[in-house]
Amino acid sequence: MEKYKAVTLRNFREIPQIEAHLSEEEKRNIEIVGNVLPFKANNYVINELIDWENYQNDPLYILTFPQKDMLEPIHFHEMADAILGGAKKAELKLIANKIRLELNPHPAGQMEQNLPIMEEVKLTGIQHKYRETMLFFPSQGQTCHAYCTFCFRWPQFVGMNELKFAMRDIDLMIKYLRTNPAITDILFTGGDPLIMRTKVLSNYLEALIDAKIPNLRTVRLGSKALAYWPQRFVTDADADELLKLFEKAKRAGIHIAFMAHFNHPNELKTEIVEKAIDRILNSGAVIRTQSPIMRNINDDAEVWAHMWRRQVELGCIPYYMFLARDTGAQHYFACSLENAWHIFRDAYRQVSGIARTVRGPSMSAGPGKVQVLGISEVMGEQVYVLQFIQGRNPDWVARPFFAKYDPKAIWLDDLFPVFGQEKFFFEQEYPLTRKKAQAVHNGHHQLSDESLLL
Ligand SMILES: *Cc1c(COP(=O)(O)O)cnc(C)c1O
Ligand code: SF4
């Protein structure tokens, strides 16, 4: 049995592959950026997923290890000077936090709007934004097997809003489900809920099963564990127990939807991931896959087509392609709406209908999940055609609408209406704050409202 071993800022220099391949400058760059943006790898990612012969261009290396350009030069130099100048730990932390505050640590920031209140109690471990689906943040699942360098949960991982958003209280969750019969799905998210040992997870799931909530159809588990630690389902001590738990839920009429986060086909190459997928599917759970599209990692139609084909081959259902969020190192990862759409289309049109269950590219923005349907021309004007896949108001869903074409746009709040309209149709109810102008927020931190990835 392979034992999980975390690799972090503190011990990455001891990794043989790092010692063998990286220059001192590259290692220092990891330290400089890693002092601001968190990272964490593990023995499986390092030994099985990264191609060290070509690490500088390896998507999984870039996904896992901080890169110099992930910080703006001004931030990079500020931190570099402090480290090289021998600043003490406390001082480094102050500088790191100052820079972090300039990286939009809580994008969209509508947590408060999604936070349900029941009998005047704020349910801080729950978000309920879309009618059918409630997000649940179990307090023991608030970290991950590896931190992805693009992840919008970075403020949580650096302790800026630790556990603020988590919940232990199963009874409250069940009560909320009962009092909201429109909810059919509960999505366990985090962090990564499958970081929880089976015993802990089963407390939650067994309680849901025992509660026999008539409206509850689906338990979704959003997880990166299949990609970054498939041992969780094969050789970990409680792997079998986990799969039995899935079976039990299924027998009780609760569909287990495993929302697997894969960013690159290289994550689907190992024997153990195949085995893990097989075992999960044999438990009666269904695996759906999702990923953001990111420059430097997967901004290539061939990569997506390959990934979807491979997923289908393994029995998974492609589900979402997301756009990278407006937080952290977005400038490094962000793909323009236009590029993302071209890549989506070039990939989508070359796969069979079986893989075209995927939807995207989609932005998880304040008012909802907005899909870029494409670029078109109406009365001589170039426009984006968009639609809501999910809306704060379900009535917004699947109504195509237009925005002015702008090749530089990367997010919903970069977009403007066309044909003399002042607002998008949904702005009556939900005005967009064009927050680029006020990107720097002021000290109170919260987790972003989206379950973008998991
Ligand atoms: C994406 C998301 C969901 C799930 O949406 P589906 O389209 O049903 O997969 C639920 N809640 C929030 C806040 C989300 O961002
Ligand atoms: S929440 Fe998802 S994207 Fe973020 S670090 Fe964890 S696995 Fe990666």
What is the reported pLDDT for 433? Answer: 83
Predicted local confidence at residue 191, as pLDDT: 83
pLDDT tens digits along 121-150: 667 788 899 999 999 988 888 888 888 877
- CATH 3.20.20.70 location in the chain: 109-284
Encoding tokens for residue 166?
A: 């988590």
Measured in angstroms, how far is the CA atom of residue 90 from the centroid of ligand 2? Answer: 27
State yes or no: cis peptide before 191, omega within 30 of 0: yes
- Please give the pLDDT value at position 435: 60
Hey, what are 173's tokens? 């969750």
Structure tokens at 321: 């392609």
Residue nearest to atom 6 of ligand 1 (CA): 390
CA of 51 to the centre of ligand 2 (A): 21
Position 279 pLDDT exceeds 60:
yes
Relative to the CA of 153, which ligand 2 atom is closest?
4
- For residue 260, give every residue at least 6 positions away whose Cβ sits within 8 Å of its Cβ, in sequence order, or none: 223, 224, 226, 227, 287, 288, 289, 290, 316
CB distance 364 to ligand 1 below 6 Å: yes
The CA–CA distances, whole Å, from 356 to 191, 308, 363 equal 28, 9, 18
State the DSSP code for 165.
Answer: T
How does residue 258 score in pLDDT terms, banded at 50, 70 and 90?
very high
What's the number of CA atoms in the CB half-sphere (13 Å) around residue 294? Answer: 27
Residues in a beta bridge with 284: none
- Cα 133 to averaged position of ligand 1 atoms, centre (Å): 7
Q: Is 254's pLDDT higher than 70?
A: yes
Q: How far apart are CA 167 and CA 146, in angstroms?
A: 22
| Number of helical (H) and strand (E) elements in the chain, helices listed first | 16, 15
Cβ–ligand 1 distance for 450 under 6 Å, the answer yes
For atom 6 of ligand 2, the residue with the nearest CA is 144
8 Å CB contact between 353 and 361: no
Determine if ligand 2 sits within 6 Å of the CB of residue 40.
no
- Rounded distance, CA 390 to CA 387, Å? 9
Strands in 381-391's sheet, in edge-to-edge order, are 126-130, 133-136, 185-188, 218-223, 255-261, 286-293, 317-323, 359-364, 368-378, 381-391, 401-404
Which residue, among 299, 319, 300, has the nearest Cα to 308 in the 3D structure? 319
CA of 293 relative to ligand 2 center, distance in Å: 14
294 lines ligand 2 (CB under 6 A): no
Per-residue pLDDT of 338-391, as tens digits, reads 999 999 999 999 999 999 999 999 999 999 999 999 999 999 999 999 999 999
Angle at 30 between CA 28 and CA 33, to 5 degrees: 110
CATH superfamily of 109-284: Aldolase class I (3.20.20.70)
Give the DSSP letter of residue 147.
Answer: B
Reported confidence tier of residue 163, pLDDT bands at 50, 70, 90: very low
210 C-alpha to center of ligand 2: Å? Answer: 30
Beta-carbon contacts of 213 under 8 Å, excluding residues fewer than 6 positions away, are 174, 177, 178
